[in-house]
Chain A
Amino acid sequence: MKDKVFFKGLMAEATICSYCGYCRSVCPTYEGVGWESCSPRGRLHLIRMLLGGTSLTADQMKRLYQCTLCGHCTQVCSTRIDLRQFWLEARKQTVSLKLSPPEFSTTLDNVVRTGNIYNYQNDERAGWVEYMDDPPADLYQRDRAEVVYFVGCLSSFSPRTQRIAESFVHVLNAAGVDFTILGEGEVCCGYPLLAAGMHDETRKVIEQNLERVRATGATTIVFNCPACRVMWLEQYARHLPGVRMLHSTELLADLTAAKQLPMKDVNRIVTYHDPCDLARNGGVYDAPREVIAAIPGLQFVEVHERRERALCCGGGGDLEMIDTALCGHVASQTVKKLLVTGAQTIVTACPQCVRMLSRGTEQTAPDVLVKDILELVAETMDRPLKKSQD
């Protein structure tokens, strides 16, 4: 199928919507909520009502945010509306109408104030480096480097996903890549702000990150968080002509193809979950599969719902700030389908997916491991990480 999608503005696209319901059939949050108002076509018509002057209650407004921005609706839309763009624009409109849900305010105020979504002091951003074996004296914070590793809030601060960052620097070191992290100079990429419709605040964090990256003279920026990568490609790239922006799996695929990573046998059955922002919204489908295929001994079983039809982990679009129960529902539904493969390990390539899918396995499949592909690769290398990976 041809992928052409369009966006002419909120009202124009809302009128073009055919109300066919294709979007509803694939929407993970509609599946969880069940009411028409939580289907993409329902949300679209709520927005149409709102822009037409209809007042919506707080509960009705909440429907507009019960969405992970997974982009599956865009994929199937019969009239080819870029619905992901539509939701982002609609959220911007609600900010200008001062109708944003109050649940956003605390977390997003934190981002503006501290530079990260966790409300930590941002100078703790590179604290995870100190947990590693023999960290270098510069703690990987160098003035100049070819490659900037943009770590992102999740991998910088969340204990579970800090291990992904550790794994990545281990891989980068092993491959001899000249890289730096930005330490406290890195601030949130701005995606949570953009997803909340807060464009003015987003611009401010973009400026800060751009300044820091430019100072390094890097020609490549690499991300292990797909949302950060999409954000940089969509919002930063025009300010950094000639700079490559890669997901860690793209770099890994190059390194494994060049046999730059020594990997030992791993006897394990794994499946792979395509993160929405890496695959459907980011266009990277093959690189993670090439990396998995390069790991000796691994038995890889593809899940039926993959690539363009990939499932959502439930953790995108700021949904976690609005409705944690719904996030959990989506995650557990996705885990259920991933486990049909018989895999002992769910591999993915996104720290938020790791968090959500781990939560999804807690109750139903506690023996199943959820790993980022970077953790898996680091484990297979000659010098495994000191910390437990599970």
Chain B
Amino acid sequence: MSLTKFTTISADRVTEDNIERKLYSRDMAFVPSIMVKPFFQTLPDAVIRPGNAEQVADVLRQATDERIPITPRAAASSSYYNSVPVHGGWVLDMNDLRDGIEVDTAHQTVRVLPATTWFDLDDALQQKGFAVKTYPSSAVSATVGGWVNMQGQGIGSLKYGSVGDQLVSLQVALPSGRGELQTITRESDLPLDWFVAAEGTLGVITWVELGIRPRPNAESHHLFAFDTLDILSQSIVSQARAEPRPYTIFFADSGYLRLLERSGFDIPFDLPQPTFPVSEKGLFLVSFQGEPSEISRGRDTLLHTAGKEMSSDLALDEWNLRLHHLRTKRTGPSLLAVEVWLPLNKLFHYLTSVKNLAERNRLLIGTYGFVVAPDMTLVMSLYPTDERQTVKYLAAIGFTKRLHDLAARYGGRPYGIGLWNTAYLPRLFSRTHLAELKRRKALLDPSGIMNPGKVYQASFPLWPITSVPGATMLGALHLSLGRDRS
């Protein structure tokens, strides 16, 4: 591979150091090498850190000519190997393309380099009297480009939609044009929406233009405790449809609070002891942002909420911790999770089924989520395990299928695909939709160099014929190895 042929990239922006490359061959989820090494080449051949869009184009030109796989990566704060190479090649560390924030106050838009974190973007906008409309619950590290490449649903989506809804234009380096930089707008022949949730499989985003909002003049947060999942779920459904629309609704079941408690953190109310049978208690946090009059009307919509309202200090604490749900990992020391997109009217069924599964098998499973639309919610179910015990950990990985299956029963589907969720492709896309996605891929990346192995088809061993029995067997093992013994 011709790492020396770049015309714009200096040698200090390229590394073939073995240890350095190893650090780029994982993401948030630890996966034992027995599941990876025989099937995938996650160790990149080189890592390249472009400093600007022209250097991205330079890399893509070279990679296209030599058919070298390219894996774009910034925070790598996802868990499905979305930004981990599976066929070697070059990892494109995009982190030097950050900031460059240009606000158009008249049109209320911002242009920003893709590796800017959501936290930093919002922080910069707040100083200028604006705010982002939505952001992920990992906003401290998650980047603008990364979230456009995912589904882009999170905090604020209930009121403002997904990041795709806010996208005004972007610049992308396309392999079909040997790295040519193209600006894509709503009026372009190439549809802007193709690049939303494309997971870096079509090109490399080099800037993003988004709609923003005036910095809210007021906000208020309201925390309610509930004794049953039924009333909790009903209250969430009703609040998600209320007008004025809350900025966000966060909810958590007793399993999540138990994980926090076991991790050594204070929780807003006491849980019954012992852990089993699993308590039906739960909470939700409703947050309003906007003009004071809107906030006041928002508060009125909560007057008849069936739960018990906690103090405003506790509500503010919960709001301030909205980007810190991984605190629960302290009880692990490892934590596995299933994140699904679920119809809101099935939330009660999902939460109850998870509770029953946990109770029957004495498993600790915690679930929390953010409502992202009046009829949809993102749900994260977490459970502790220990990656230092390989068999136990593999069994726990297998158990993710059990939770995915459970969610699917209620219309849930995985959030994000990457490598590992290609096992669930039939749940994610109809045949027609998948064919359309493949057509786009063939058109924009004819040599298939962009993030290969992701999104479009499952690779062995993720074929149904191998993954289903394997994960089922391991998941069954988790029912005994994962039992809570405290």
Contact = CB atoms under 8 A, between A and B. Distances in A.
A233 B120 CA distance: 34
Interface stretch (A33-41, A153-161, A181-189, A257-265): A33-41
B418 to A, nearest CB: 15
B330 A79 contact: yes
| Chain B interface helix/strand/loop/mixed | loop
A5 to B, nearest CB: 10
Given A1-B320, A35-B15, A36-B93, A25 B140 contact: yes
Given A2-B265, A2-B321, A42-B23, A20 B120 contact: no
B96 A4 contact: no
Nearest to B126: A304
B324 A49 contact: no
B22 to A, nearest CB: 8
Interface stretch (A11-19, A347-355, A371-379): A11-19
B218 to A, nearest CB: 21
A49 B19 contact: yes
A81 to B, nearest CB: 9
B141 A24 contact: yes
Given A24-B141, A35-B15, A46-B19, A18 B321 contact: no
Given A15-B334, A15-B388, A78 B324 contact: yes
Interface stretch (B24-32, B60-68, B369-377): B24-32
Contact of A16 (B117, B123, B127, B329): B329
B393 to A, nearest CB: 11
A35 B20 contact: yes
Contact count band on B: 35 or more
Contacts of B327: 78-80
Contacts of B120: 25
B265 A34 contact: no
A6 interface: yes
B140 A22 contact: yes
A56 interface: yes
Interface residues of A, number: 31
A45 interface: yes
B350 interface: no
Contacts of B95: 34
Interface in B56-101: 75-77, 93, 95-96
Contact of A45 (B23, B77, B96, B119): B23
B198 interface: no
Contacts, number: 97
Contact of A1 (B30, B93, B324): B324
A384 interface: no
B335 interface: yes
B473 to A, nearest CB: 26
Contacts of B326: 18, 20, 78-79
B334 to A, nearest CB: 7
B321 A19 contact: no
B129 interface: no
Nearest to A41: B23
A42 B266 CA distance: 30
Given A2-B317, A15-B387, A36 B329 contact: no
Contacts of B127: 304
A6 B330 contact: yes
B191 interface: no
Contacts of A80: 327, 330
A21 B266 contact: no
A60 interface: yes
B446 interface: no
A76 interface: yes
B332 interface: yes
Interface string B103-133: 0000000000000010110010001000000
B15 A19 contact: no
B400 interface: no
Nearest to A43: B23
Nearest to A80: B327
B329 A25 contact: no
Contacts of B317: 1-2
A46 B17 CA distance: 13
Contacts of A4: 264-265
Nearest to B331: A16
A18 to B, nearest CB: 5
B244 to A, nearest CB: 27
B73 to A, nearest CB: 9
A261 B271 CA distance: 55
Of residues A6, A15, A19, which shows the largest number of chain B Cβ atoms within 10 Å of its Cβ? Answer: A19
A37 B320 contact: no
A244 B22 CA distance: 48
Interface of B: 15, 17, 19-20, 22-24, 26-28, 30, 47, 49, 75-77, 93, 95-96, 117, 119-120, 123, 127, 138, 140-141, 264-266, 317, 320-321, 323-327, 329-330, 332-335, 386-388
Given A19-B30, A42-B23, A46-B23, 19 more contacts: A2-B321, A6-B330, A15-B388, A18-B329, A19-B26, A20-B75, A20-B141, A21-B77, A21-B141, A24-B141, A34-B93, A36-B20, A37-B23, A49-B19, A54-B19, A57-B19, A60-B19, A79-B326, A79-B327
10 contacts: A6-B330, A18-B326, A18-B335, A19-B76, A24-B75, A34-B49, A35-B15, A35-B20, A36-B20, A78-B329
